[in-house]
Structure 1
Amino acid sequence: MAAIHMVTQEKSSSGLPVYLRNGLTGNGHEVNFIDAQSCLLPKISVLLQSFHPNKKKWFHRRSMLGTYSVAAWHRNTRINGALLDRVLKPEDKILQIGGLYAPHPASTGLEYYLFFTYTMKLAYRDGYSPWIPEPWEREAVVELETRLYSEAKHIFVASKFVRRHLIAEYGIPADRITVAGMGVDDFFVRNMRILLPEKPAKKCLFVGYTFHLKGGPDVLMAFTLARKYVPDLELTIIGPNYTEDMDQEGVRHVGAVRDRQELLDYYRSADLFLLPSRCDSFGFVFLEAMTQGLVCVGSNMNAMPEIITDGETGFIVEPGDHIRMAELIVTFYQNSHLRTSMGNRARERVLERFTWPRVVEIMEREIFR
């Protein structure tokens, strides 16, 4: 069977490469990672060239020089090509995750597939994403990105939103783009909560490490308003560093939670999951919450309206509309039937639409057609 060479950083994209690798190997495929940024000498060179005595400035310069610049694009593309040349056989397949470099300097005429969840044009536009090149390099990076998309054999995306965007703003033909979706970690499927508690816990949950990008301040304002009508309401915040605005009655700041069982327990302790992101490429945590029967509140951007069926499995709000979010929280707790009816439908939707075997099956049909 042909090998699949996955051009990506293994631990990037919220674990997407590992999930795909596991799904493909589970179906009998040999999968190898091609990672330019795993090579030691280029990594050391970037560290030395970007050095600055201020750690924040050093981190920023390292990110720009190592990933988000024209120089980074060409360097990583060149190394990818050298790594591929060592192992690539005529019958093998190339699958690149993300669009921050090309799989080979001679990619024109090379058969390769792409999978990504966001584009650089979307990152420029959202006003929140920190992972973008310096202003004077942005147009050049988009030109390289456009060429990458145009020369790909086929493109897989996580949402219909990104597919429409590629057609309208990058000029990619519709028949060369497939919505593969995303899947939930199998741990949460195996530990799915089937029976929901009879009584509400009166607890809301936020899980997100980039607090402002994920709409954290909007959640706090909505919670403050909603608590006037639901006095015993509580909010647990998992992920971000502590900030002073979290110091209010009913709010519990937990910080980072890396253990999946511990995170599962937090999901099961709550009724309502709040993540009205201002910038989000997909939203794995929605899927995790939905396996536990939580009703989710997300914002009207990217994949969130495709994950959450508004009014059926959760609620959709405009980014920044904390007043509407507060109204939905109060309505949710004033109508007890919503917790079980919507929670059960949310769990069913994950099983129908968001599993890795389904994603891999969609991709295999196209790659091996």
Structure 2
Amino acid sequence: MRILFLNSWLEETARGSGTAAGIAGLAQGLGALGHEVAWLRPRWPLPGLALRRLLYNAGLPFRFDPRAFDLIVGFDIDGFALPRASAPRRVVCLKGVAAEEMAFERGWPRLRLGLLARLEGRNARRARRVFVTSGHSRRAASDAYGLPAEKLSVVPEGIDLAPWDALCAVPRPSRGGPPVVLSVARQYPRKNTASLIDAMPRVRAQVPGARLRVVGGGPMLKGLGRRAAALGLGEAVSFLGEVPRDADVRREYFGADVFCLPSLQEGFGIVFLEAMAAGLPIVAARAGAAPEVAAEGEAALLVPPGDTGALADALVRLLRDAGLRARLGEGGRRRVRRYGWTEVARRFLEEADRE
């Protein structure tokens, strides 16, 4: 099968974009199943993601012949300007639901997401089938864009397990240093990293020396640094910014004791897969798709969203209990096997064939 990916992101997976990693991983899985995947990317690296995506889509009708492909896959808004004649071959993958994400933003980011949501809804309504990554996102997309349930297919994100398995096969040396909590996220308000920083003084009062390492850039990063300083956390919190999503970020996971992402909204959460692949126990908020991915009691402890005290208590519980950390870490390692990219790609094709 000849498959065309419409992808205006122009993000290198090495820069840490979870969306870019998900798109590249799906292509990898489809290739492993023997299918040919072609990419149609922006011609020029224009500044500003929103402008780049709009200009890319405006030119799409003139850049390819839909009849040359068996399946055309657009991501989020990509494909909204294509003629209706392409619809029988076209599906849309929503990596997030912009209409839901905008509720957590203010100012220009909210306006930008509002525009993208309108185009995303148009794109989804015109496609033959719409893919979402979780049951939570299926409900959000159906409500926001008026999509019938039979048009929506849930196919999760995936992960290339090979490099993680290779690291897990090597016994971890005893670090002997202070316990480490790791958080990996693009720093937007909905990721709620502020709550994690607010929890750290309470964590450190009960687990002396506990440290937090925060991976990821984004508009909230500087403010989070000021917040940590105001709490007197000093060197107890390290902000690493963007870390390449390859061996460098894997080293961060394997150097930590607990993974924490207290998001208030999460369409899926590739970082949960990464934590499970590394054998790390997870602390997350019981919000969005987190309960679907990071199963409570199997791989994670979940807390009420926005409850800083409960978040601190869950972290303390894990940092103090090596047996619980090991049990949840092993549970995550077993659970993540279902998310290998070849299996995810197979499910994607099965759903794409549905009428």
- TM-score past 0.5 threshold: yes
The letter for the 2-side match of 1:33 is W
In structure 2, C-alpha distance between the alignment counterparts of 1:343 and 1:290, rounded to whole Å: 7
In structure 2, C-alpha distance between the alignment counterparts of 1:327 and 1:91, rounded to whole Å: 53
Paired position in structure 2 for 1:118: 96
Q: Using the TM superposition, give the Cα deviation of residue 215 of structure 1 relative to its aligned residue in structure 2, in angstroms.
A: 2.1
The letter for the 1-side match of 2:248 is E
C-alpha spacing 1:130/1:298, structure 2 compared with 1 (3 Å)? farther
Paired position in structure 2 for 1:166: 141
Q: Using the TM superposition, give the Cα deviation of residue 91 of structure 1 relative to its aligned residue in structure 2, in angstroms.
A: 5.8
Paired position in structure 1 for 2:342: 357
Contact preservation (8 Å) 2:4, 2:39: yes
C-alpha spacing 1:345/1:130, structure 2 compared with 1 (3 Å)? farther
Q: Using the TM superposition, give the Cα deviation of residue 147 of structure 1 relative to its aligned residue in structure 2, in angstroms.
A: 3.4
Contact preservation (8 Å) 1:10, 1:18: no
C-alpha spacing 1:112/1:132, structure 2 compared with 1 (3 Å)? farther
Q: Using the TM superposition, give the Cα deviation of residue 82 of structure 1 relative to its aligned residue in structure 2, in angstroms.
A: 1.2
Paired position in structure 2 for 1:344: 330
Q: 1:23 aligns with which of 24, 29, 32?
A: 29
C-alpha spacing 1:176/1:197, structure 2 compared with 1 (3 Å)? farther
Paired position in structure 2 for 1:50: none
Specify the SS of the correspondent of 1:84: coil
Specify the SS of the correspondent of 1:302: coil
Specify the SS of the correspondent of 1:191: helix
C-alpha spacing 1:231/1:90, structure 2 compared with 1 (3 Å)? closer
TM-score computed with the length of structure 1 as normaliser: 0.80
Paired position in structure 1 for 2:3: 4
Of structures 1 and 2, the one scoring higher in RCO (CA 8 A, sep 6+) is 2
Paired position in structure 2 for 1:80: 60
Q: Using the TM superposition, give the Cα deviation of residue 142 of structure 1 relative to its aligned residue in structure 2, in angstroms.
A: 4.8
Larger Rg: 1
Q: Using the TM superposition, give the Cα deviation of residue 351 of structure 1 relative to its aligned residue in structure 2, in angstroms.
A: 0.8
Contact preservation (8 Å) 1:120, 1:132: no
C-alpha spacing 1:264/1:166, structure 2 compared with 1 (3 Å)? closer
Contact preservation (8 Å) 2:9, 2:49: no
Specify the SS of the correspondent of 1:89: helix
Contact preservation (8 Å) 2:137, 2:267: no
Structure 1 window deviating more from structure 2 (282-291 vs 199-208): it is 199-208
In structure 2, C-alpha distance between the alignment counterparts of 1:198 and 1:15, rounded to whole Å: 31
Percent identity reads: 24
In structure 1, C-alpha distance between the alignment counterparts of 2:6 and 2:81, rounded to whole Å: 6
C-alpha spacing 1:161/1:148, structure 2 compared with 1 (3 Å)? same
TM-score computed with the length of structure 2 as normaliser: 0.83
Q: 1:245 aligns with which of 203, 210, 227?
A: 227
Paired position in structure 2 for 1:202: 179
Contact preservation (8 Å) 1:281, 1:302: yes
**How large is the RMSD of aligned CA atoms in angstroms?**
2.9
Aligned residues: 336
In structure 1, C-alpha distance between the alignment counterparts of 2:7 and 2:334, rounded to whole Å: 32
In structure 2, C-alpha distance between the alignment counterparts of 1:323 and 1:128, rounded to whole Å: 26
Paired position in structure 2 for 1:366: 351
Aligned pairs (5 A) from 1:134-145: 138=114, 142-145=117-120
Q: Using the TM superposition, give the Cα deviation of residue 345 of structure 1 relative to its aligned residue in structure 2, in angstroms.
A: 0.1
Q: Using the TM superposition, give the Cα deviation of residue 282 of structure 1 relative to its aligned residue in structure 2, in angstroms.
A: 2.6
Aligned pairs (5 A) from 1:1-369: 2-9=1-8, 11-12=10-11, 13-35=19-41, 38-40=42-44, 62-67=48-53, 72=54, 75-85=55-65, 88-89=66-67, 92-99=70-77, 101-102=79-80, 104-107=82-85, 109-127=87-105, 131-133=109-111, 138=114, 142-193=117-168, 202-210=179-187, 212-240=189-217, 241=221, 243-247=225-229, 248-249=233-234, 250-258=236-244, 260-352=246-338, 354-368=339-353
In structure 2, C-alpha distance between the alignment counterparts of 1:81 and 1:300, rounded to whole Å: 42
In structure 1, the gaps of 5 or more residues are: 48-58
